[in-house]
Chains A and B, each alone.
Chain A
Amino acid sequence: MNDDDLNRELQRLPIKYLHQLAKGRISRHFRLGKRRLIECMLGLPQEHKMALATSLANLSLPTRESVVNSPTPPPPSPGESPSPFYSKPTARTSHHTQGPSSPPIQLPELLEGIGVPSPMPFVPDEWQREAVEALAHADVIVSVPTGSGKTFVAIEAIKQAMAANQTVIYTSPLKALSNTKYMEFSHRFGPDLVGILTGDRRDNIHAPLLIMTTEILRNVLYDAASGEIDLRLHTLGLVILDESQYLADPERGVVWEETLILCPSQTRLLLLSASIGNPQELAEWLTSIRETPCRLIRHTKRSVPLRGLYLHPTGQLVPLFEARDIQQKKGYRFHPETKRLFNEYEVKPFR
């Protein structure tokens, strides 16, 4: 068998068999994609290649898989495949899909519209305006998908509070995040107006906007309760808790609860959270323990549509789902091509 033949034979093989062949011949073969695996195999010394050809001939390929690379393989119907992928998951997922849907999307259509929007004047979303306005008479929980623009709400709320001569505390769960926000806010509001508190540093703590981790705020509230703190808590008008889904963190979550319980009653609370399952419950809780009611602002729609792709180790790129945009709570149906390729990838022992 010459190199060309071998190459052709190898190209026809599903990746899992390539890995079988590569075992013991190519180090760290499992890290390699199909193209690279074949390159490496063809680069082996001659006698190794002969041994490889023999193993290749001895590979017992099920007939179904030997036709895998024929030009347009018909998508296998659920009944005939032995793979658990067809039997179990499709059966489980099909009943919560979007009903008899339109034909599965094709790749070009899915990749359509990639690009950079031209700069547009900033227009706040309805929910952003709503959240800022609600703060006038209520505590607010914002629970929206990542990347929606919660920071804008925080900034507007800070401006409002500063205009009313109030102190604002902004907390994040991580020091790294506090640092980033410190820089961002210093840049936006001017360094004089922003201070930061950490375990051992207190920079500009008489500034109207203070940034700290939630633990530090909890400590400040402890000290304030026993009357020994130099911070002006009586002018504290707003506390912003970013990433407040941390309330459910097994180790640190309690700190968020303590903070919320100990927050002075004249202070407005703004909780910014990624999407969570029960923001309503959180809002009811806050309403039940605080003098001001708590308003919930939530939605699950992403501001930039998200689409799914499946990338096969051979380099084939196909749509992940039948539908184009990924949508919440509407169920899902994998694209037939994804199912076919993934089934091919799946090596039984891994399941």
Chain B
Amino acid sequence: MPPAIHPIDLVDILRRHHLTPAIVFLTSRRGCDEAIDAFINTSASVSASHSEAIRTFLDQFAKDFPSIANHPLIPVVQDYGVAAHHAGHLPSWKMAIEELMRQGLLDAVFATTTLAAGVDFPARTVVISQSSVRKSQDFCDLTVSEIQQLAGRGGRRGKDFVGFVVVTPSPFIDLDILGKGLTGQPESIDSQFVISYPMVLNLLRAHSVDQIEGLLAKSFAQFQLNQRVTVHQERLDDLHEQLQPYGPRECADWVAQWKVFDLARRRKAHRRPIVTNDSPYLTACLPFLTPGRLIGLAKGPAIILRQYRSRGTGTPMLSVLHGKGTVGECQAQRVVHVYDHVYDFHPTRTVPWCLPSTLHQFKQALAQLPAHPPTVPIFEASPEADDPLLSEVLTEEFSCPSCPSYTACKKDFSLASRLRLKEQQVTKTIQALRDGLWHRFQQKADVLHKFGYITAGFQLTADGEWARMIRINHSLLITELIRMDAFSGIAPEMLAGVMASIAHDDDRPSSYMRLTSGLSSMLGKVRQVADSLRAYEPPPLLRSDVAALAEQWIGQPQLNWASLVRSTSMAEGDVYRLLARTLEFLSQIHTLKGTHPGLADTAHLAMGNMRREVLAELP
């Protein structure tokens, strides 16, 4: 919402109190444009000499940046000493305004709050008329950092003794947000680490998997996660202490045993939570098949290193250390005996799932086993067990009722199992915090493997070798399109059109533009591919109007900038940004000259055609 005060009144008051030059922050580009339009044909003009100085500067500036030579806003700027500065303008025009401001030639600049951080654009006074900004679709309160970034432009070092921030109300303003923002401490910053396909490919190109794990561990993301781990670790230590009195009794893992016993007693109420294809016997075994457990396989005794489900079939699987000292995988249903012994075990993430020293101890332990270690009776929650009579019989076979520590277990079970559950949860949380990044890396790597960019052994394939050069958003879509030869024999302007529609992520409305039929069918194809990749990469907007715009600019070298801009309702600055981004995408395709010389040439041609007039002004 515009401020309740009229821009002319505002500038008048600022001038009267010697508060100029000022930056007036407004919510919308339109607000900025309308504010300076309001000056036309009023008496708020600057002196003739001032006007002359602006004129001289702009003439000079236009020598380096011809695109501003006939800018429609020049008359307002030089007559009234005011300007607008927002993303709808060309970079060269914005630079001219910034330089005018630096030289003290403007009294007021109406700017949106997106006025980028770091652009050297100070003033004596900053006017704020809002406490929120539009972010995507919603209005959000300005943060303390944002408010201080805005206010920080008030008061120029070396040019002002003091700076001012002027608050003038507009509808929806909340003064307290501004009060806090001006005087408070800026927010802490948090890591925003995300793992992308190009990152995975490029890391794998130069580093081993182990090294990458180390690199991820060096991220600020992991640093912050580790701080949370510390907190959970303290809780875990605390839980361990509380669990102290509930160590091994008659059997090593009495809590698990009692749990089964308990379930049997209350089998009526019990429902198996997850429906699996596991046999009832296997289901009953699984709680015991934890890392460190001694088991008997057909081949002989073994120690479990981890339990997992196979990705494809979902069958429960075990990684085990065999008696002869080898580590292997076997299906859980192959377990013949579940022995009543659990070794101390600290899991690790990679083969052999525990520390080498542990593995060594296990090997020794296996070598010295008695012939028939005691086993854990497995109580099967079979359907028949629902029969009270049968279940009683079964229960009697179960060791708990006759066990000397029956009473103690009965008394302690509920607390011990609760602590145990918490312990497991906290352990899981810690694992998740420690491994989160690594897992996300693996997920991305799995997808890249599925598509054939890397081998099962984490080596780049021939396709991966070139695909890693595409380091932009929607990289998977682009590399897939290249792999399916979607661009073979394509004209430069059409390639540019496609890249523009992939690159453009702004859904500001713009005018309809006629697509050539070739580009239109091409975009249809791209959309299909993008949709098929939806599960792996969010599809781009693929707007056809921006594609048409880029196609025209590249395809018609005689088309000048002014006519291009006239043919769309997009703001000049937006058209520039679209084409600049397209240029960036094309330049990445150009890097594929070794493997895709034809396509790279086409991209190069498109880039050459792109770089003219205003698009050739800046590097």
Contacts and interface: CB of A to CB of B under 8 A. Distances in A.
B471 A350 contact: no
In this complex, which of B116, B165, B183 has the most chain A Cβ atoms within 10 angstroms of its Cβ? B183
Contacts of B160: 114-117, 304
A79 to B, nearest CB: 19
Interface stretch (A49-57, A68-76, A172-180): A172-180
Contacts of B190: 248
B119 interface: yes
Contacts of B10: 33, 311
Interface stretch (B143-151, B364-372, B386-394, B552-560): B143-151
B179 A334 contact: yes
A146 interface: yes
Contacts of B18: 111, 114-115
A72 to B, nearest CB: 22
Interface in A1-54: 15, 19, 30-33, 35-36
Contacts, number: 287
In this complex, which of A176, A179, A303, A308 has the most chain B Cβ atoms within 10 angstroms of its Cβ? A308
A219 B98 CA distance: 30
Interface in B574-593: 580, 583-584, 586-588, 590
B192 A196 contact: no
Interface string A215-249: 10001001001110000000000000011011111
Interface in A106-140: 111, 113-117, 119-120
A157 interface: no
Contacts of B1: 30
10 contacts: A113-B161, A146-B149, A177-B116, A257-B193, A274-B148, A305-B161, A308-B165, A308-B166, A331-B183, A345-B4
Interface stretch (A59-67, A161-169, A322-330): A322-330
Nearest to B126: A306
A306 B117 contact: no
A304 B184 CA distance: 18
Interface string A279-298: 00110110011000000000
A317 to B, nearest CB: 6
A49 B580 CA distance: 55
Contact of A313 (B165, B169, B185, B218): B169
A222 B160 CA distance: 45
The 5 lowest CB-CB distance pairs between A and B, nearest first, are: A146-B152, A304-B155, A248-B189, A253-B192, A225-B206
Given A147-B156, A199-B583, A199-B584, A288 B117 contact: no
B587 A31 contact: no
A85 interface: yes
Interface string B108-129: 0000000011111010100100
Given A248-B190, A277-B186, A308 B619 contact: no
Contacts of B17: 111, 114, 317
Contacts of A277: 145, 185-189
Interface stretch (B219-227, B228-236, B302-310, B315-323): B219-227
B224 to A, nearest CB: 8
B157 A31 contact: no
Contacts of A148: 157
Interface of A: 15, 19, 30-33, 35-36, 85, 89, 92-93, 111, 113-117, 119-120, 145-149, 172-180, 182, 196, 198-201, 203, 215, 219, 222, 225-227, 242-243, 245-251, 253-254, 257-258, 260-262, 274-278, 281-282, 284-285, 288-289, 300, 302-313, 315, 317, 320-321, 326-332, 334, 338, 342, 345-347, 350
A199 B588 contact: yes
A198 B122 CA distance: 27
A336 B110 CA distance: 29
Interface stretch (B170-178, B255-263, B515-523): B170-178
B154 A306 contact: yes
B537 to A, nearest CB: 15
In this complex, which of A246, A306, A307, A326 has the most chain B Cβ atoms within 10 angstroms of its Cβ? A306
A274 B152 contact: yes
Contacts of B182: 306, 308, 326, 332
Nearest to A197: B619
Sort chain B's interface into a size bin.
35 or more
Nearest to B12: A315
A180 B224 CA distance: 34
A257 B219 contact: yes
B3 A309 contact: no
A345 B118 CA distance: 34
Contacts of B119: 174, 176-177, 180
Contacts of A347: 171
Given A113-B161, A226-B202, A342-B175, A276 B183 contact: no
B346 interface: no
Given A200-B584, A311-B168, A342-B175, A285 B155 contact: no
Contact of A306 (B118, B164, B587): B164
Nearest to A223: B202
A44 B187 CA distance: 51
Contact of B192 (A115, A248, A274, A346): A248
A97 to B, nearest CB: 10
A132 B151 CA distance: 27
Contacts of B2: 30-31
Interface in B372-404: none
A310 B168 contact: yes
B361 interface: no
A320 B199 contact: no
Given A113-B161, A249-B192, A254-B196, 18 more contacts: A114-B162, A115-B18, A117-B160, A146-B152, A146-B153, A147-B153, A182-B619, A199-B583, A225-B207, A227-B206, A257-B193, A275-B145, A302-B152, A302-B155, A326-B151, A327-B183, A332-B182, A350-B172
Contacts of A174: 116, 118-119
Given A180-B120, A304-B162, A309-B165, A315 B185 contact: no
Contacts of A119: 158
Contacts of A288: 223
In this complex, which of B151, B189, B468 has the most chain A Cβ atoms within 10 angstroms of its Cβ? B189
A307 to B, nearest CB: 5
Contacts of A346: 169
Contacts of B162: 113-114, 304-307
A306 B160 CA distance: 10
B95 interface: yes
B209 interface: no
A262 B618 CA distance: 29
A306 B162 CA distance: 6
Contacts of A246: 117
A93 B179 contact: yes
Contacts of A248: 189-192
A303 B157 contact: yes
B165 A306 contact: yes
A23 to B, nearest CB: 14
B264 interface: no
Contacts of B38: 31
A285 B223 contact: yes
Contact of B618 (A179, A226, A251): A179
Contact of A329 (B98, B167, B185): B185
